[in-house]
Each structure stands twice: as C-alpha cells, then as structure tokens.
Amino acid sequence: MRSERTEMRKRQMPAPQETTGSMPDQPGAGDRGSNACCFCWCCCCSCSCLTVRNQEEQRPRRPSHELRREDLPTCEESPSPTLEEVNAWAQSFDKVMLTPAGRNAFREFLRTEFSEENMLFWMACEELKKEANKTIIEEKARIIYEDYISILSPKEVSLDSRVREVINRNMVEPSQHIFDDAQLQIYTLMHRDSYPRFMNSALYKDLLQSLAEKSVEA
C-alpha cells in the first residue's frame, strides 16, 4: 500500500521544468530577430546592387577601339618663341594662331580668364579635320559634342541656336567638317573678345620683355 501511495504521489506531482533546455531558446529568439534584421538589410543591399548592376549591363557597350578623351590632344609641344615671332603676334590674331607657340601662349592667357575651352574646342576641330576613318570620325565627333557642345557640359562653348541645330541634325552621321561653322564662330569670338586683352596682358608684355632682354644680352 505504501509503495502504491508513493507511486500515485509521484504521478500527481508536476514534472519539473527543464530550465537548462529552455535557456538556449531565449537567445535563439533574439538571434532570429537579429538575423531577420540582418537578412532584410542584406536583401535590400543585394537588391540595390543587382539593380545598379542590371542598369550598367543594359547600357550600350562601345567597341574596344573607342577613343578616350586623353587621346585627344589638349597641349601642343613647341619650341620657345623667338622675339620676331612674339612681335608678329601684335600684327594680327592669325599670326598668333599660326604656330603652336602662339597658340600655347594665347591658351595660357585664356586660362586666366576661365575661357580655355574655346581654344581646346578649336584645336579638337582641327584634329577632327585630319581624320579619314569613319569610325574614328564618329568617336571624335561624339567626344567633342559631349565636351563642348552639350548644354550639360561644364566646358560648353558659346554658340548661337542656328549652329547648334545644324550640329544636332548632323550628329546622326557626322563628318570631319561637322563643327566647321561652330569652329569659325569660336575663332571669331576669340579674335574680337580675347585677343585685344591678350595683347594688353601682363603675360604677353612680360614674354616680350624677357625675349628682348635676352636678345640684347646675346
């Protein structure tokens, strides 16, 4: 009887809670919460990365022979100008633009007036005229347009609407002479606006004086 009562009492007693088994569940819930946040963040990041990657892949890829902007000349190598040459610059703007030394000196002056893009555009047009390969012409024309004609470019040159419209139409199939009218317009602008100030600038006068002193010493 005693053994039966003892057995019945054991059965009626509530089973002890297994605290050791339940403890890991609490951190587990926290881990699931942090993992969920991490998972959501990773998903968002992954989705953003995939979106950017898809956009990049959808952009038209240009051929491997595409020109880089560094391929277009932005500086001319030339010997130091002579005294006679610098004196001749005062005769006409054409004399300044005739030689690399004159163009470099004038370009340096334009840089002080924050209008160097006019000379860079003119030089790029001269290089374009020398091309005969159709593919190279199209690539150079595109770069020139993006750098100096586009209203979005920080180096945009000042052109009237008529010239811009003609260029925009001809960009469908550009030739080496697509920018001729624009080049003439910028040449005229430099002649009438910048050239007189160049002749009265300290840059020109200092160069002339330096060459004159060297000539006397020789």
pLDDT reported for residue 36: 44
pLDDT reported for residue 168: 97
Extract the tokens encoding 173.
Answer: 């199939």
Extract the tokens encoding 167.
Answer: 């260029």
Q: Per-domain residue ranges for the chain? A: 83-217
Query: Of 1.10.10.10, 3.40.50.1970, 1.10.167.10, 3.60.20.10, which CATH number belongs to 83-217?
Result: 1.10.167.10
Q: What is the mean pLDDT of each run of 10 residues along the chain (218 residues)?
A: 51 49 44 44 42 41 46 66 96 97 97 97 97 97 98 96 97 97 98 98 97 87
DSSP assigned state of 15: P
Does the pTM of the predicted model rise above 0.75? no
